[in-house]
């Protein structure tokens, strides 16, 4: 299924809140859950997948079985693994509804994800450049979400440098 960049949906924050509450109840080792990604930026077009950033004291101590009980699967592709991060998703391969990034709370990955979200929310011209870039990438890599994600990462890293 090709990548879809949808217009902003005002239901995204509510979907995040509902999912975050369910995660906090099911997995008490998740100390904080934040809404990140483009769906967390009012007015921004985005892939209609809610990104959640969950902070834990020990990412490897997070109960994957509890997450599996909620319908999450842990991703084991090379691009989904980096030190200090575990990545889970819920939905279907063709249409993931939620991406869950479990990182060390207040660690470098935590700070970087939140810094990028804050920049998108605070700097409208920057957010529009990012949205335009994503639309171009979605057309270019319509059938390869992994390459799309890697290409987005280059923009994000440059913005945080």
**Average pLDDT by stretches of 10, the chain with 161 residues:** 88 97 96 97 96 96 96 76 85 82 95 97 97 95 89 92 89
Query: How high is the pLDDT of residue 77?
Result: 62
Q: Which domain holds residue 67?
A: 12-160
The count of structural domains within the chain is: 1
Whether 90 and 73 have beta carbons less than 8 Å apart is answered as yes
The reply to whether 2 falls in a domain is no
CA atoms within 13 A on the CB side of 134: 23
The reply to whether 146 falls in a domain is yes
The reply to whether 3 falls in a domain is no
**CATH code at 95?**
3.30.460.10
Query: How high is the pLDDT of residue 118?
Result: 98
For the chain, the helix, strand and coil percentages under 3-state DSSP, each to the nearest 5: 50, 20, 30
The reply to whether 43 falls in a domain is yes
Query: How high is the pLDDT of residue 65?
Result: 97
The reply to whether 151 falls in a domain is yes
Going by DSSP bridges, is the β-strand pair 73-74/32-36 parallel, antiparallel, or unpaired?
unpaired
CA distance 67 to 113: 21
Query: How high is the pLDDT of residue 94?
Result: 63
**46: Cβ contacts below 8 Å, ≥ 6 apart:** 5, 6, 8, 12, 37, 38, 39, 134
The reply to whether 45 falls in a domain is yes
Query: How high is the pLDDT of residue 1?
Result: 64
The reply to whether 7 falls in a domain is no
């Amino acid at each position: 299924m090709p990548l879809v960049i949808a217009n902003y949906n005002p239901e995204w924050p509510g979907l995040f809140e509902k999912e975050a509450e369910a995660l906090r109840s099911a997995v008490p080792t998740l100390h904080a859950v934040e809404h990140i990604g483009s769906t967390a930026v009012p007015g921004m077009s985005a892939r209609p997948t809610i990104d959640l950033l969950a902070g834990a004291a020990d990412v490897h101590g997070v109960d994957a079985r509890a997450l599996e009980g909620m319908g999450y699967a842990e991703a084991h592709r090379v691009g989904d693994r980096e030190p200090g991060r575990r990545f889970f998703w819920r939905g279907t391969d063709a249409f993931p509804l939620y991406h869950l990034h479990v990182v060390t709370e207040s660690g470098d990955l935590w700070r970087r994800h939140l810094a990028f979200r804050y920049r998108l929310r605070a700097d409208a011209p920057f957010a529009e450049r990012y949205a335009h870039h994503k639309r171009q990438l979605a057309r270019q890599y319509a059938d390869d979400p992994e390459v799309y994600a890697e290409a987005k990462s280059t923009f994000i890293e440059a913005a945080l440098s």
